[in-house]
A = this chain, B = another copy of it.
Amino acid sequence: MVAGPQPRPLSNALLFGLVPVASWFVIRPLISPIPQVPAIYSSIGFSLFAFLVTIYLVPALGPPFVRANLKGRDLLKTYAVPIPESQGLVVASVYILSLLLFIPFAFARPFAKLANAKPSSEGITVLEFPHHQLAVYLSSIISLLIASFLGFLDDVFDIRWRHKLPIPIIASIPLLLVYFAEHGNTTIVVPLPLRSLLGNLLDIGPLYYLYMILLSTFATNSINILAGINGSEASQALIIALSIIVNDLLYLPWPVGFRIPLHLLGSPRDIEFGGLWGAGMAMGSQVLVERHLFSLYFMLPLVAVLTGFLYHNWYPARVFPGDTLCYLAGMAFAVVGIQAHFSKTLLLFFMPQIFNFILSTPQLFGLVPCPRHRVPRFDPETNLLYPSKALFFKSPSKLTTLILRVFSTLGLVELTVHPKDGTILETTNLTLFNTLLVRLGPMNEKRLNQLLIVTQVAGSLVAFVVRYGLAGLVYDGDRR
């Protein structure tokens, strides 16, 4: 048996260097002069702590996880040592704890009083979250807790595919109920071409709740099915979270003035930051600033814990995330998309996941045989990954043949056909990973994950172009 990888080294300099920095950030809102958005500093501070705790706790908890039978073999390696599985549990615990500890900094009255004592400055000053947002914040935490809990149960009980689907629905119940109890807005902004028919805003009522459920289900499961190679789950979640943060920053009041030349993307006007109404895309709307602050408060610690985890999950992985991590991250994205009302933009950041999901549907819905694992095939000789294949035991239906022929023409799959009658005998599995291997040839696991990251970043760049450039063609500045 080949020995498995040793735990990744951790320098004490990290600990001693970051603790004072993180502490300063946490208590910054209490130090005069009070900054414009004091709680952001605490959020950054807690995120730094969350990063530290995760990066140290993950390797420390490996052995107890293995003892508790939460372990797995790495299928794409030559060694067979058990790797701790479901360590997304650690990530989830640290993440949720940091969100909890942040509560007094964002909501407590003594803090708010301190901030209010500040003389008013020009532009938007977001002193504190409005107090009524606390219920929304708490219901989001409940959803995250339930998603992580159910993800962990999935790891322990190994729940069947079909029984898993409602998990995000259960987890979104608290979100939806508090949305309902708070009489949340169920209107959508109508695209310009349809306004003559439907008016500017359309209240879609209960359909909006259905939409939110679908969004949670999609965000959660789409990450879960683009998985299986070292680092892939955490990497994609990390890029999505960073994209959301960049988007949030566009709406926040900046202390310095600058301009983003949006006319290059085809938008009628540029975004200006700083100055009298210093809140970028928010264009003076306090509601929009608050929503994107809310989103930022959930995304900063998420980036922190994902980074800490990825350090140990990077190829060759010392730990596995389990379904717990995918459920946690997916739910966190759904939470901010719903509560901060930018679900359309959010979906734009999910382009690789949407592509992977659409590509997968013939296997998910049983048109093409679906083996238990669809991860690429590992060749121990060359240490490279090759596209894995699904075999047809009986000849495929006409519909299946048509779909696969289209996929093949688009270069998404590689088919093996009967030399005489041309019936399809096997196809590469319908996942983004296999498509990348079909297009770019065999490569090693680390390279494939880097390629996933590049794809995800490219997707986000396109998303920004679409959102702030092309969207001007079908939506005006009215964003509710």
A177 & B145 in contact (Cβ 8 Å cutoff): no
B181 & A109 in contact (Cβ 8 Å cutoff): yes
Q: A178 interface residue, CB < 8 Å from B?
A: yes
CA distance A97 to B166 in the complex (A): 14
Q: A361 interface residue, CB < 8 Å from B?
A: no
Of A64, A97, A156, A158, most B-chain CB atoms within 10 Å:
A156
CA distance A103 to B178 in the complex (A): 7
**Per a CB cutoff under 8 Å, which of B67, B70, B181 touches A134?**
B181
Minimum distance in angstroms from A151 CB to a CB of chain B: 11
Q: A138-B135, A142-B142 are in contact. Are A180 and B100 (CB under 8 A)?
A: no
CB contacts (< 8 Å) of A149 on chain B: these are 145, 148-149
Within 176-195 of A, Cβ neighbours of B (below 8 Å) are at 177-178, 180-183
Q: A170 interface residue, CB < 8 Å from B?
A: yes
CB contacts (< 8 Å) of A107 on chain B: these are 181
Q: Mark A140-178, 1 if CB is under 8 A from B, else 0.
A: 011001101100010011100000000000100110011
CA distance A138 to B89 in the complex (A): 22
B145 & A138 in contact (Cβ 8 Å cutoff): no
Q: Mark A109-120, 1 if CB is under 8 A from B, else 0.
A: 110000000000
Minimum distance in angstroms from A185 CB to a CB of chain B: 13
Q: A101 interface residue, CB < 8 Å from B?
A: yes
Q: A104 interface residue, CB < 8 Å from B?
A: yes
A68 & B156 in contact (Cβ 8 Å cutoff): yes
Q: A397 interface residue, CB < 8 Å from B?
A: no
A177 & B101 in contact (Cβ 8 Å cutoff): yes
Minimum distance in angstroms from A167 CB to a CB of chain B: 12
Q: A108 interface residue, CB < 8 Å from B?
A: yes
Number of interface residues of A (CB under 8 A): 38
B100 & A183 in contact (Cβ 8 Å cutoff): no
A138 & B103 in contact (Cβ 8 Å cutoff): no
CB contacts (< 8 Å) of A383 on chain B: these are none
A103 & B156 in contact (Cβ 8 Å cutoff): no
Q: A157-B68, A173-B100, A174-B103 are in contact. Are A109 and B183 (CB under 8 A)?
A: yes
CB contacts (< 8 Å) of A139 on chain B: these are 138
A180 & B68 in contact (Cβ 8 Å cutoff): no
Closest B-chain residue to A102, C-beta based?
A: B177
CB contacts (< 8 Å) of A285 on chain B: these are none
Minimum distance in angstroms from A348 CB to a CB of chain B: 31
**Per a CB cutoff under 8 Å, which of B69, B108, B145 touches A145?**
B145
Minimum distance in angstroms from A30 CB to a CB of chain B: 15
CA distance A177 to B170 in the complex (A): 26
A104 & B145 in contact (Cβ 8 Å cutoff): no
CA distance A173 to B135 in the complex (A): 16
Within 436-457 of A, Cβ neighbours of B (below 8 Å) are at none
Q: A134-B135, A139-B138, A142-B141 are in contact. Are A157 and B101 (CB under 8 A)?
A: no
**Per a CB cutoff under 8 Å, which of B64, B134, B170, B182 touches A157?**
B64
CB contacts (< 8 Å) of A182 on chain B: these are 109
CB contacts (< 8 Å) of A145 on chain B: these are 142, 145-146, 149
Of A89, A101, A135, A180, most B-chain CB atoms within 10 Å:
A135
CB contacts (< 8 Å) of A157 on chain B: these are 64, 67-68
- 7 A-B pairs with the lowest CB-CB distances in the bound complex, closest first: A138-B138, A107-B181, A103-B177, A108-B181, A134-B135, A109-B183, A145-B145
Interface of A toward B, CB cutoff 8 Å: 64, 67-70, 89, 97, 100-101, 103-104, 107-110, 134-135, 138-139, 141-142, 145-146, 148-149, 153, 156-158, 170, 173-174, 177-178, 180-183
Interchain Cβ contacts under 8 Å between A and B, 23 examples:
A67-B157, A68-B157, A89-B153, A97-B170, A97-B173, A100-B177, A103-B174, A104-B177, A107-B181, A108-B181, A108-B183, A109-B181, A134-B135, A134-B181, A135-B135, A135-B138, A138-B138, A138-B142, A138-B178, A142-B142, A145-B146, A145-B149, A149-B149
